[in-house]
Amino acid sequence: MHTFAPTIFLALFSILLCLPFGTAQETEHQEHGTPPESEAHDEQHGEQAEQEDHVEAKGHGGRSHPKNDVAIFLGLTDEHGQALEPTLGFDYKRRIAHRWSFGGLFDYAGGDLRNAFFAASITWWPVGKFGLTAAPGIEIHRGRGPTVSCGCGGSQNSEGPEEDLFDEDERYFVLRLGVGWPFPIGENYAIEPNVNIDLVDGEKVWVYGFNFIYAW
């Protein structure tokens, strides 16, 4: 009986020594607000929320929406009764919201058309990179006087009023409606197939080509 007494005493003493250590650990976690398991869960939840915010700030395809882009337009103008004429343009857009951009554009159709077009533009991005643009502006036609080229190295007087009227200097109000979808090349560049219809002086003029975009 006496031989078991020291053993029982040592066991009870060991238990008493362990109790303060465990209580101290629990008190430390309580002072920090949450147990270790809860802290790990909160940290994981915070990282997930940060990742979701980062994805939300990205556009479709994982590419963030740039605030500005400038583009050089190379295309053709298809006016009724006229041959397709090469067209060179410049476009600028500033994104003011997730789906809206404002800007301005200029293009010039050469050849027999000799038309310069200046406009302000607003673009709406309803789905992904698909953009719808409306651009009210002014078209300036530069006439060549009462003569037309005969294709023989000189000029001759026009014989009908239609040629005279066609070649006078004119200004028109134009409403351009366009669609485009840019295809990114790296982080800052894109190529955008672009189709536009110009409503001018009761006629419809098609302008189509490609925008070569630099964005930042």
Cut 0.85: pTM above it: no
Q: pLDDT by residue (tens digit) across 174-189?
A: 999 999 999 999 999 9
What gap in Å lies between CA 50 and CA 48, rounded to an integer? 5
Look at the block and give the residue holding tokens 């400038």. 70
Instruction: Report the pLDDT averaged over residues 70-85.
Output: 94
Residue 76 CB contacts under 8 Å (≥ 6 apart), including other chains: 84, 85, 86, 87, 207, 208, 209
Q: Say whether 194 sits in a helix, a strand or coil.
A: strand
Q: pLDDT by residue (tens digit) across 131-189?
A: 999 999 999 998 866 655 555 544 455 445 454 445 688 999 999 999 999 999 999 99
Residue 6 CB contacts under 8 Å (≥ 6 apart), including other chains: none
- Predicted local distance difference test score (pLDDT) of residue 67: 94
Nearest to 191 by CA among 105, 102, 129: 129
Q: pLDDT by residue (tens digit) across 15-61?
A: 655 554 444 454 454 555 545 555 555 666 556 545 544 443 454 44
